[in-house]
Amino acid sequence: MTATEIIDMLENIGRRATPRLSPAVDLTAETPAARRDLILQAIRGTVLPRRVEFTAPDGTLLALELNSSRITDVYGSSTGELPDFATEPRETIVQKLARLVSDLALAGNPIQMVSLQPDGPTEADDVGITFTEMKTACAVIELREDEPRLTVLQTPDPEPLADDPAPENEGLAAAFFEGSERFAMGRFLSGPASTRRHDGLCADGQPLHPSTGLLDRFAKDLAGWDADAGGHLPHPQLIVMRPSGGKGAALALLRDGQDNAAAIHDARKLGAVVALWKSLRGADP
């Protein structure tokens, strides 16, 4: 952006500014295409490093890391497939982001936007995806009010209950262990239905190798969690734990009702974790 464009943008913001009691800003437009333009303009208008969360009335969520009018990361989304900024080609990242923004625009009025302080400093090499790239990619995605949208929430099906797993869910933890090889720095699989396995940083002799006692205590804690949940959180379950800054090492745990598989991975590869989860659950990308 040129200096003149920045000044014009700040003047427009000043003219539109009104006092409000809530940190959320409502983005409202008559058509999905107009709502998508508002989302893109909100991204363009975010100059300082921010964590910006968009939420639609139906619960559709898109949480972005923004800096200098660019998208530098995706914290989470309830639709589509998250891009992996660390491994995927730039063109693929742009296309996935355009689809996520378009899905959000289809979710109806109003779209609430909350701008938060980033959890940590932005990396110097986070050049991000530009507004122009996003606008160009979104332009090829036609939006209609009646367009079907895929919504994939990280919530389990209402059945089966935790103490009565369905046969089709057997072996899901083992499959997650195998599939996580491409992004995990360390991984392990434990439980009564599978042979205990460790790999990478979790292998025997490595710094994150879990001892038998630790795994046993871990299994007891999870069993207590199942008892407390009272069937409200059936299996399979994907649990993701990330550092507060969104960068560094993270832990993804998949539970299928019998076994537990864990993968230690770079927090920026959350998209790869979610993509694997969706593929194991049979969801379309």
In a domain, 148, yes or no: no
The pLDDT tens digits for 6-52 are 677 667 766 665 554 456 788 888 889 999 999 999 999 888 888 88
Looking at residue 22, what is its pLDDT? 53
Please indicate, yes or no, whether residues 121 and 236 belong to a single structural domain of this protein: no
Looking at residue 246, what is its pLDDT? 59
Q: Which is more confident, 152 or 211?
A: 211
The pLDDT tens digits for 75-88 are 888 777 888 888 89
In a domain, 160, yes or no: no
| pTM as predicted | 0.48
Looking at residue 271, what is its pLDDT? 76
Please indicate, yes or no, whether residues 20 and 95 belong to a single structural domain of this protein: yes
In a domain, 146, yes or no: no
When pLDDT is cut at 50, 70 and 90, the band that residue 232 belongs to is confident
Q: Which is more confident, 231 or 22?
A: 231
When pLDDT is cut at 50, 70 and 90, the band that residue 266 belongs to is confident
The pLDDT tens digits for 158-217 are 333 333 333 344 488 899 999 999 889 899 998 876 778 888 888 888 888 888 788 778
Reading the block at residue 191, the tokens are 């439980």
Please indicate, yes or no, whether residues 30 and 101 belong to a single structural domain of this protein: yes
In a domain, 161, yes or no: no
Choose the most confident range, by mean pLDDT, from 2-6, 115-119, 238-242: 238-242
When pLDDT is cut at 50, 70 and 90, the band that residue 2 belongs to is low
Please indicate, yes or no, whether residues 177 and 125 belong to a single structural domain of this protein: no
In a domain, 144, yes or no: no
CATH of the domain at 276: 3.30.450
The residue among 96, 122, 139 that closes a domain is: 139
In a domain, 154, yes or no: no
What sign has the CA pseudo-torsion 282, 56, 68, 91?
positive
Looking at residue 154, what is its pLDDT? 39
Looking at residue 149, what is its pLDDT? 43
Closest CA to 100 of 73, 128, 67: 73
A 10 A CB-CB count for 56 gives 22
Please indicate, yes or no, whether residues 118 and 172 belong to a single structural domain of this protein: no
Q: Under 8 Å CB-to-CB from 259, ≥6 apart: which residues?
A: 171, 173, 174, 189, 190, 191, 192, 193, 194
Which structural domain range is residue 199 located in? 167-281
∠ CA 164-170-171, nearest 5°, is 150
Please indicate, yes or no, whether residues 277 and 176 belong to a single structural domain of this protein: yes
In a domain, 53, yes or no: yes
Please indicate, yes or no, whether residues 7 and 112 belong to a single structural domain of this protein: yes
Please indicate, yes or no, whether residues 108 and 175 belong to a single structural domain of this protein: no
Please indicate, yes or no, whether residues 175 and 267 belong to a single structural domain of this protein: yes
Please indicate, yes or no, whether residues 172 and 262 belong to a single structural domain of this protein: yes
Q: Which is more confident, 59 or 133?
A: 133
Core vs surface per residue 198-231: b (16+ CB within 10 A) or e: bbbbbeeeeebebeeeebeeeeeeeeeebeeeee
Closest CA to 108 of 137, 151, 139, 69: 151
The residue among 139, 159, 182 that closes a domain is: 139
Please indicate, yes or no, whether residues 174 and 228 belong to a single structural domain of this protein: yes
Looking at residue 137, what is its pLDDT? 93
| Number of domains the chain is built from | 2
The pLDDT tens digits for 83-139 are 888 889 999 999 999 999 998 888 888 888 888 887 666 665 567 899 999 999 999
Please indicate, yes or no, whether residues 7 and 125 belong to a single structural domain of this protein: yes
In a domain, 9, yes or no: yes
